[in-house]
Amino acid sequence: MPSPHVLIVDAGFYRDIADELVLGATEALTGAGATFERISVPGALEIPPAISFAALSDDPVFDAFVALGCVIRGETTHYDYVCGESARALMDLGVHEQLAIGNGVLTVENRDQAWARASRSEKNKGRDAAEAALALAKIAERFGAACVVPSKEGRAAQEVLPASPPLKHFIRCPCLISPHPVKS
């Protein structure tokens, strides 16, 4: 694989923790010879849609994605929903849309636990997520994984996905490996 191009999507709800995760990720990506871009979203629930939007873009094409953020338990059940739904959505994107995603969204009880995991001098989960994304991108390339791109009116699809929302209007193409769409 030539130098992979990676999108880092970070949730800025806990900006200081997110920034430390991003530093760990960017150091790992730079060390691996990857190029990268970074976008920020408000919270962990916004990471999966942002990755989905970027994956559907023709320019640029990303080989992998790094999801970074932090969810700290509060006094309500909101924590459980945010943790579960953001993790499930990232897994769904990886499995169903064949996207190489390194999940570095921390789910912790308090800020001390968050810092222990985010800190580059401790657990460095930003680095771990970037390394996971790169490893999955290599596996995707090896097996010819394909991502999902919007169909164009009048273009013949080689393979139409089952009609299940939200993918019923999409066709499969090898755009993670090659940025060229399926030709009619």
Question: Which pTM was predicted?
Answer: 0.80
Q: pLDDT tens across 91-106, in order?
A: 999 999 999 999 999 9
CA pair distance 74, 134, nearest whole angstrom: 33
Top CATH class of 5-144 equals alpha beta
Domain ranges of the chain: 5-144
Radius of gyration of the chain measured on its C-alpha atoms: 17
170: phi then psi, degrees, rounded to nearest 5: -120, 155
The predicted-structure confidence for 105-157, as pLDDT tens digits, reads as follows 999 999 999 999 999 999 999 999 999 999 999 999 998 864 444 443 333 33
Query: What is the Cα–Cα distance from 91 to 151, expressed in whole angstroms?
Result: 23
Structure confidence by residue, pLDDT tens digits, 41-55: 999 999 999 999 999
Return the active site residues.
Answer: 78
